[in-house]
Amino acid sequence: MSSRRGDGGRRTRAQKHQNSFAFKNDLHDKHTPLIKLISNLNVCEVCERCKEVIEWKIKYRKYKPLTQPRSCNKCNERKVKRAYHVLCRDCALANRCCAKCLAPADETNIVPPEPTDVEKQKLKVEMDQLIKSLPERKRRTFLRYMNKGKKKERKDSDGEDELEDKKKKKPAGVPHTREELMEKFEQLKLSTVEGDGDSLFSDDDDDYEDLSDGYSSS
């Protein structure tokens, strides 16, 4: 904004210095373990606003991970392992609030936490017991669905960014929740009861996707 008297804070000319291309956070040192770890972080246990803030830091190389666990503001134990969080996972779940800004879950949407290794193992055992009642073909479909995961939510980007994303490798998916797996299981079970479970020309598109992954996971 010009400081000359009489302008009234209005400027008609364009910005003097403009970037000719978008910022790329993996232009340098993209193969280092730290950059890979930060780029593949799954932001969770926070509200939508805090998630956007942390994702912005990751996108523009401003994210600084913790070198050691910090103290939780509730239990005062050194269990906070994520940067910019002030509550540990247990306290955030117990108090039903954002682990960063402490906003209650009644006022905002909290991103569900990532399951621990023990929870993942228990879920896998439970799903293995459930799919025993399915036919072989539906069982492979369910295993592919579970192993593939779901895509990370991404905001709309420019055409140049989309072109760059196509050149990159496909990012790892986020694991499905138990509710999503149960919903998929009920769909497959219902289709089997209706008689199209063993049909050669099934309408399920997943049956014809990544067959090699299905055979390796069985």
The 10s digit of each residue's pLDDT in 135-167 is 888 888 888 887 777 666 555 444 444 444 444
Token readout for 82 is 């994520």
| Residue 161 or 79, more confident | 79
Instruction: Give the confidence band of 7 by pLDDT, cuts at 50, 70, 90.
Output: low
Considering only CA atoms, which of 58, 19, 83, 63 is closest in space to residue 155?
Answer: 58
- For residue 90, give Cα distances in angstroms to 75, 116, 171: 9, 12, 28
Query: What proportions of the chain, in percent to the nearest 5, are helix, strand and coil?
Result: 40, 5, 55
Q: CA-CA distance, 25 to 215, in Å (whole number)?
A: 36
pTM: 0.58
From the list 130, 117, 110, the residue with the least C-alpha distance to 48 is 110
Give the pLDDT confidence score for residue 62 in this predicted structure.
92
Mean pLDDT value of segment 172-196: 73
Q: What is the pLDDT of residue 22?
A: 84
Query: Which candidate, 125, 136, 147, places its Cα nearest to that of 217?
Result: 147
- In terms of DSSP H, where are the helices of 149-210? 159-167, 178-193
**Rounded mean pLDDT of the chain?**
76
